[in-house]
Amino acid sequence: MTFSKIGKCVIFSAPSGAGKTTIVHHLLKRNLGLEFSISACSRDPRPNELDGKDYYFLGIEGFKKHISDLSFVEWEEVYTNNYYGTLKSEIERIWENGNTVIFDVDVIGGLNLKRIFGENALAIFVQPPSYDELEKRLRHRSTETEEKIQQRMSKAITELSHAEDFDQILVNDNLEKAFIESENLVKAFITK
């Protein structure tokens, strides 16, 4: 994959409910030269989600068209007919702005991005304090059906087994502590 300009990337991955999105939003407010990579997906928006801000909502057919056009840096079918991916144009836009890309992606997407960007990427795995706490957090959201919660918890077992494949593991058992640790990791990577 070729880019007109290569910059740095920070990748945050975790099982759903571990807190990666909360940490990424915190870092974006810290004036570190980070810019959020908006992922594309095939699903419909949830309440309060906006196209072009939270995700690019492409629908299944639109997503498949982008696959055939080779528009993605990486993509995967996370659940049946539920696709997520990173648009090459999104990465180029951020690097052209002179910023470091920050990703909030699932575990397989994070590993794919790390493989693609190599030394230009810092991959951080956000680990929940326990499997039970992860389930409690998902239930507390009140945005998922019981079937979706069970699906996410089943997937979490596999995702947790990949923690060691990342550059850093950040245990999110105390959010304020996780904010500080994540900021220190990102600053050290960006300035090296």
Three-state DSSP state, 137:
helix
In the chain, the N- to C-terminal Cα span, in Å, equals 24
For the chain (length 192 residues), average pLDDT per consecutive 10? 83 90 96 95 93 95 97 89 93 95 92 94 92 78 77 84 96 95 97 88
The tokens describing 113, both together, are 């991005």
pLDDT of residue 71: 95
Side chain identity at 33, as an amino acid letter?
A: G
CATH class of 9-191: alpha beta
pLDDT of residue 97: 93
- Rounded to whole angstroms, the Cα distance separating 105 from 111 reads 9
Rounded to 10°, the helix 131-141/146-160 angle is 150
Sign of CA dihedral 77, 158, 184, 172: positive
Is the separation of the CB atoms in 135 and 153 below 8 Å? yes
Is the separation of the CB atoms in 190 and 8 below 8 Å? yes
Question: What is the DSSP secondary structure assignment for residue 68, as one 8-state letter?
Answer: H
pLDDT of residue 93: 94
pLDDT of residue 91: 95
